[in-house]
Amino acid sequence: MKKNLLGLVLFSLLFQFTFGQKKNIALTPPMGWNSWNTFRCDGLNEQLVKDIADKMVENGMRDAGYQYINLDDCWQIGRDSKGKIIVDSIKFPAGIQALADYIHSKGLKLGLYSDVGLMTCQKRPGGKHFEAIDAATYAEWGIDYLKYDFCFLPKSCDQNVDNRKTRSLAMSYLKGPKGCTAEEMYQVMANELAKQDREIVYSLCNWGVQNPWLWAGKMGHLWRTTGDIRPYFKGINLKYLGFYSIHKIIKFTDKNKLHLYAGPGNWNDPDMLEVGNGKLTLEENKAHFSMWAMMAAPLLAGNDLRSMSKETLSILTNKQVIAINQDALGKQGYRVDTKKGVQVWIKPLSEDKWAVCFYNPKGKRKIQYDWKRLNLSKTLKKWRNVWEEEQEPFKQSFELLIPKNGVAMFIVE
């Protein structure tokens, strides 16, 4: 009996070591900030990251739940003779480990960016063939989050050297030889992260290629579902051709029923927030933040926290919307109804509550609505408007005036 038990234990350890059993973390969608949407490559540096961390503490974002300060592409410039990644010493003179110590001293966590391919999307060193040394290095430095991109795969994978120029539709069918499917490539780093004595959130950023929601949950904590977002709400924008609008991402999420694949430690990632960026209106910013909360998406701010308006800060720190996103039940919301072009989304919450969001991607709409349409009315007793902070006795039917590209959002119980 003892021999059998010992054998089972050894097999379990061997399985975890070999196949990369992921850490049981990110039980609610990660919240934080990422450098890319505003600062791209040229604007990223050590002082900026420290300033953002300081501001996140000062303005209350940390206390509202934002944890991660994530460096995107361009923090690295090469590898030494042993293959260890080299930090750009001009941008980060004190090094990443010292920066991690600073971020941790603020009660925050630090994230880095790399790539499953030979190079990152900005042609910095990728992780292909260096997964073991990179994972160990990240753990040594005290890294808490790894975003792993999908550019510059080896030619042998038959998926185009530069995958940014490859259509997602075609990519779904170009599997390549053994070891070249997206699932197989991302598993390599997952195995190495599992060996580290550190909890590191693993964020797969392959833009939805080969439907990661079907397989990424066994190795990662979140996975990108679409191409990159840009700060415009919907339609065609000549400046952002080839990228995704906020509405296009919502539409894709709904069409593919992605809520079926989400849960604690497994999150669909519709890309980082553009709240406060571009020419988004106040109502569009609120709708963007609301729908990301309904979709149980990671809330990773992408604006300049040092200079944002009071309105932007109030959106990013709305406690009730954040509570919907971070609810312990870990359910992703989904569309259940449409009336006069207004979509009705619901998200189950703990303690027998529901989040209900009326999402209007059209012009201003006035609608009469009856809770009977949702088959929830027998259990509902009161409702609260999360943007207007109104709490009222439950009404069976009611009237809503929803602005263009806006929302009306409620918690009902």
Q: Which residues are catalytic?
A: 149, 228
CA 87 to each of CA 34, 124, 137, 306: distance values in angstroms, whole numbers, following the listed order: 18, 11, 12, 25
Query: Side-chain half-sphere of 132: how many Cα atoms within 13 Å?
Result: 5
Buried b or exposed e, range 288-299, using 16+ CB within 10 angstroms: bbbbbbbbbbbb
Beta-ladder partners of 355? 347, 411
Cα separation, 18 vs 339, in Å, equals 51
How far is 347 from 335, CA to CA, in rounded Å?
A: 9
378's CB contacts (< 8 A; 6+ apart) are none
